[in-house]
Structure 1
């Protein structure tokens, strides 16, 4: 006949093993829930951070463009005053434009054309026509509006840039040409650098047709790569279809293949889109560290329980 201790010990061993397995299963479930919630929280936090950065940059860009537009309108008024005294000579036109440009540090050049598109103040460069430029034609078609060009290479100063333009009209109301401000992409890129996007993040300015105007990415070897192109990710197009003014999404950026949580916001008052992307890998490093600590804590508790079970079992055995 079996003794009580001979039947009790195997039963205790089974209970201890099953208890440890149950605790381990509970820890695995708890860990999975904690890790998933932590991942979702970090992604939501990254989205909100990107939205805040996009909003701040968009507001700053809008304010800068308004300042340039104020300069264009001030130049138009000065030209009207000169025109009231007769057709101003080219040196007077150039002086008026340069005086106004000096108040606009972001503007590379402030120029004036006649009705045919011929630049009246090309500086020390040969006179050239802008009649075929999109901004000239748009300003002529809508003389009451300020026009923003697509990104393009300058004919006088060279390099990639953006143009803001307004139409000139004579006393009879007829089109008399345009005034336009040239802003180099390097100037706009400097504004994007104010955003803390992390080691692999990016801040981007695009036209409403989604052509790349300028981009800042700390690890980008060629900051002008892709300017003038409109290659974007499908998630961006899908998000814009739902809300063209503001939104966010997660995808790999078409230009460099880096996965980012990206937020976008329309630049208020201007046909441009500001995007800020925060690399998921940058935030994932901190997430891995956090989840690693949680996992280590759970494993330690599990190890202590297992050790305690061994102690209980040994004490229950007869000497």
Structure 2
């Protein structure tokens, strides 16, 4: 453009012709419009290849870990079963063992074990003297591998190769234990035959895709069970990829290898089911992984081609009018920045969701372990009368277990699976009630200020969780100000549209701010601040769960946590929570003490240790217990017996506790049902309003829960006392 005089002092803008250098520049841009998308396409394809491989490795390793935990539970249960049988028949002669009562005991022991085919007691000559099934007494198992191994030496809990049962005619493999006479001579074996098909079914349920393979493998290469299920199976030679990997890394690992069993190339992960000589192996077909990558590559190619066409058109138009090109580039840059920001928000949300799922699963399993520990400590302590030292030791153990339960609650808070009791809360009143606690926690060098508007509306949250969140934020602010400073707690009401805060739904909110004058955070630390177990504090000075717990609580409550910080300029934490309504509270009557009566209880629990601990507490309360290890087993018992209450775990393979409750209520609408779980989101999965028993629980919690749903009899029965 240039100025041209027209009629005196007035000037007008007229277009300047393109120079040769401008033409050459736009020709270069035209070439770049084809070259750049091609380079981006190649780079994106390489990156996606690495990402697909990484994701596939995570899937195989995670699935192998699930299969490992399941196999470990099964073998631990079998180990416990062998010990129970050994205790039962110890000191008995074979004539005493051969009585029908022993076989009846074995049948009862085997009944709840879905993984078991049969249970046997065999004398030193290999003849079965007692069993859970009918058998031909003339048939000897002296030629079986596991019998020969135990006869030659004490092999401990020996896992045999797979075989076809002589009495059952079912494909099995055995876990055996040696019996000895008082003078140390071989006196037969106890063995439990396990079902390979049972393991194959679990592998199929655990597998995330169809093009997968799994195996339960003995350390010498004998295949005990495999997915897809097949019988019989060949031994895996020592020269194969999987056996070489096991020899190199005996505890577990991941690799890509070729299967000699079905002639396929796969990505594998494996783990040893210690202390047993058994491995779980899981693999995903390499062809499926490559197909996923090629599918993504095709999508990238379409995007690259479209981008090349668009850029070519834009460059050609730029040759006609430079100003139009400039405006187009500005718009393209703005769109690219918006797309990048959207992608970053999406990736962060997906990352936190994945972490939440993993954390919730870990907390669920840890809750089961704590349920066993806390329940048994509670029972043992009630049985101690005069041993004060033992009571103190048990109290210490209980405190440690309860600290573990507190840790799982923090994990469930981050995973958004904790139980919340939302109600309308006056933020100013709640903070005022915490002032003394906050002042004592901060020290003399830090002052705290509160700024709340007079007409601040309430928020709808769990007040206890809000107190914990504010306390954590204040303590974090204190730790960021070692030389002292000021903390300001303020709040304001805001009506938010979707574009104002993309992470929030449109609506009315209260934003609570906790601002400090501390050292602040750099961008890298700020980006990871809400990740679980991430902390910048020294060893032993922080768990890294405070901000992640607050984040989970805020999201589960319908809001969000936002952090704003810069190195050297302090940190501001914003807790956005949905607005509540003003409530008029009516004082509640004091709860009356529940009456207890002895009941016939159907207990449904897939974890044997949790089953044993809960059954012991129920029996200690005077109840009679029927046990079922799955929903199907519970329905079978209900066809034969009439329990007065059902207590069921929620997270079980095959059929969840809610699904089991729906099946029961379809036939027995008034059957009392207690749902035992540590998760919160199950309440939205069914129309049933089921009372909850939160894990882990004490004996008194179990007693109160039962009393709250079972109508007391005319003559209440007192629980056992010691």
- The answer to whether TM tops 0.5 is yes
Q: 1:230 to 1:286 in 2, by over 3 A?
A: closer
Which stretch of structure 1 is more off in the superposition, 33-42 or 193-202?
193-202
Report the Cα distance in structure 2 between the residues aligned to 1:301 and 1:233, rounded to whole angstroms. Answer: 50
Report the Cα distance in structure 1 between the residues aligned to 2:234 and 2:319, rounded to whole angstroms. Answer: 74
**What corresponds to 1:32 in structure 2?**
42
Q: 1:267 to 1:224 in 2, by over 3 A?
A: same
1:158 aligns with 2:169: yes
Question: Secondary structure of the residue that 1:152 maps to in structure 2?
Answer: strand
1:133 aligns with 2:144: yes
1:249 aligns with 2:255: yes
Q: Is the 1:164–1:181 Cα contact (8 Å) retained in structure 2?
A: yes
Question: Mind listing any 5+ residue stretches in structure 2 that lack a counterpart?
Answer: 1-17, 323-722
Q: TM-score, normalised by structure 2?
A: 0.39
1:239 aligns with 2:245: yes
**What corresponds to 1:114 in structure 2?**
123
Q: Give the deviation of 1:31 after TM superposition.
A: 1.8
Q: Is the 2:234–2:261 Cα contact (8 Å) retained in structure 1?
A: no
Cα RMSD over matched residues?
Answer: 2.9
Written as runs of structure 1 = structure 2, the 5 A alignment for 1:139-288 is: 139-143=150-154, 145-217=156-228, 223-225=229-231, 227-230=233-236, 234-288=240-294
Report the Cα distance in structure 2 between the residues aligned to 1:226 and 1:33, rounded to whole angstroms. Answer: 47
Question: Secondary structure of the residue that 2:246 maps to in structure 1?
Answer: helix
1:303 aligns with 2:313: no
Between the two structures, name the one with larger relative contact order (CA 8 Å, sep ≥ 6): 1
Q: Give the deviation of 1:127 after TM superposition.
A: 2.6
Q: 1:144 to 1:288 in 2, by over 3 A?
A: closer
**What corresponds to 2:100 in structure 1?**
91
Q: Give the deviation of 1:38 after TM superposition.
A: 1.1
Which stretch of structure 1 is more off in the superposition, 302-311 or 196-205?
302-311
Q: 1:232 to 1:159 in 2, by over 3 A?
A: farther
Q: Give the deviation of 1:231 after TM superposition.
A: 5.3
Residue deviations 1:5-36, cap 9 Å, x none?
xx966x76655444333343333222212111
Q: 1:19 to 1:235 in 2, by over 3 A?
A: farther
**What corresponds to 2:109 in structure 1?**
100
Q: Is the 2:216–2:281 Cα contact (8 Å) retained in structure 1?
A: yes
Q: 1:47 to 1:232 in 2, by over 3 A?
A: farther
Report the Cα distance in structure 2 between the residues aligned to 1:166 and 1:241, rounded to whole angstroms. Answer: 27
**What corresponds to 1:82 in structure 2?**
92
Report the Cα distance in structure 1 between the residues aligned to 2:209 and 2:244, rounded to whole angstroms. Answer: 26
Q: Is the 1:146–1:165 Cα contact (8 Å) retained in structure 2?
A: yes
Q: Is the 1:211–1:230 Cα contact (8 Å) retained in structure 2?
A: yes
Q: Give the deviation of 1:315 after TM superposition.
A: 5.9
Q: 1:78 to 1:315 in 2, by over 3 A?
A: closer
Report the Cα distance in structure 2 between the residues aligned to 1:249 and 1:76, rounded to whole angstroms. Answer: 41
Q: 1:131 to 1:225 in 2, by over 3 A?
A: closer
Report the Cα distance in structure 2 between the residues aligned to 1:232 and 1:260, rounded to whole angstroms. Answer: 18
Q: Give the deviation of 1:166 after TM superposition.
A: 0.5
Q: 1:170 to 1:232 in 2, by over 3 A?
A: closer
Which stretch of structure 1 is more off in the superposition, 141-150 or 66-75?
141-150
Written as runs of structure 1 = structure 2, the 5 A alignment for 1:42-61 is: 42-61=52-71
Q: TM-score, normalised by structure 1?
A: 0.84
Residue deviations 1:54-100, cap 9 Å, x none?
1121121111111112111111111115349x744443442343333
Report the Cα distance in structure 2 between the residues aligned to 1:107 and 1:225, rounded to whole angstroms. Answer: 17
Q: Is the 1:167–1:178 Cα contact (8 Å) retained in structure 2?
A: yes
Q: Is the 2:106–2:119 Cα contact (8 Å) retained in structure 1?
A: yes
Number of corresponding residues:
305
Question: Secondary structure of the residue that 2:247 maps to in structure 1?
Answer: helix
Q: Give the deviation of 1:294 after TM superposition.
A: 2.8
**What corresponds to 2:9 in structure 1?**
none
Question: Secondary structure of the residue that 1:121 maps to in structure 2?
Answer: strand
Residue deviations 1:137-156, cap 9 Å, x none?
22223336111101122222
Which stretch of structure 1 is more off in the superposition, 233-242 or 201-210?
233-242
Q: 1:293 to 1:87 in 2, by over 3 A?
A: closer
Which stretch of structure 1 is more off in the superposition, 296-305 or 38-47?
296-305
Report the Cα distance in structure 1 between the residues aligned to 2:161 and 2:155, rounded to whole angstroms. Answer: 19
Question: Secondary structure of the residue that 2:129 maps to in structure 1?
Answer: coil
